[in-house]
Chain A
Amino acid sequence: DAGVIQSPRHEVTEMGQEVTLRCKPISGHNSLFWYRQTMMRGLELLIYFNNNVPIDDSGMPEDRFSAKMPNASFSTLKIQPSEPRDSAVYFCASRGAVSFFGQGTRLTVV
């Protein structure tokens, strides 16, 4: 298995633009998690899904953030409009017995 695949690896965008981050979980894993990593806050859980259904989105910072999981093999995290304070590394993880993480998307909003 190729592991959890995220795209893009790096994204630079201007403030106000829409940003979409993508994740392909490991086949057979039922749970999918989106985390954000910053120097100030460390690793924060944003939202997670089980069997494609959002379970808890209480970590989503604002209404500008939204996430979907239309099927078992794909999830997106969207920020619209983006702001400089959204700059961070965003990780997707999927879980079978334990959680496996993707390589992350480094987002820079200028």
Chain B
Amino acid sequence: GNSVTQMEGPVTLSEEAFLTINCTYTATGYPSLFWYVQYPGEGLQLLLKATKADDKGSNKGFEATYRKETTSFHLEKGSVQVSDSAVYFCALSDHLGGTSYGKLTFGQGTILTVHP
């Protein structure tokens, strides 16, 4: 079955530091890959996505590249802000049109805290 593994957290950084959160996956076929972010007391928000190998998803200064050869989708940001403090989830889904209707399989989440 599908699975997603994220780097262990929590991660604590100073403002303007470089961020990397590692994510690797196991899946059959060609899944779509996602990063979701959850701010305290909120639901999950889609941060970025990539649907095929070598695609780069980007949003709000965050980037992740779909690497099929290493089955990875690492999240990066060059300069984090205090407002980026949240929980980040890596996820995958089978393509729409299959039998899973796009259900998401999540990693365990990584807590990011950014200090001024």
A residues near B (Cβ < 8 Å) are 4, 30-31, 33, 42-43, 45, 48, 50, 55-56, 91, 93, 95, 97-104
Contacts and interface: CB of A to CB of B under 8 A. Distances in A.
B34 A56 contact: no
Interface of B: 34, 36, 42-46, 49, 89, 93, 96, 100-109
Mostly, the A contact residues are: strand
A48 B44 contact: no
A33 B43 contact: no
A91 B96 CA distance: 21
Given A31-B101, A48-B103, A98 B49 contact: yes
B34 A98 contact: yes
A31 B103 CA distance: 9
Given A43-B106, A50-B101, A56-B103, 15 more contacts: A31-B101, A33-B104, A42-B107, A42-B109, A43-B89, A48-B101, A93-B104, A95-B101, A95-B102, A98-B46, A98-B102, A99-B93, A99-B102, A101-B45, A104-B42
Nearest to A32: B101
A45 B93 CA distance: 12
A101 B89 CA distance: 13
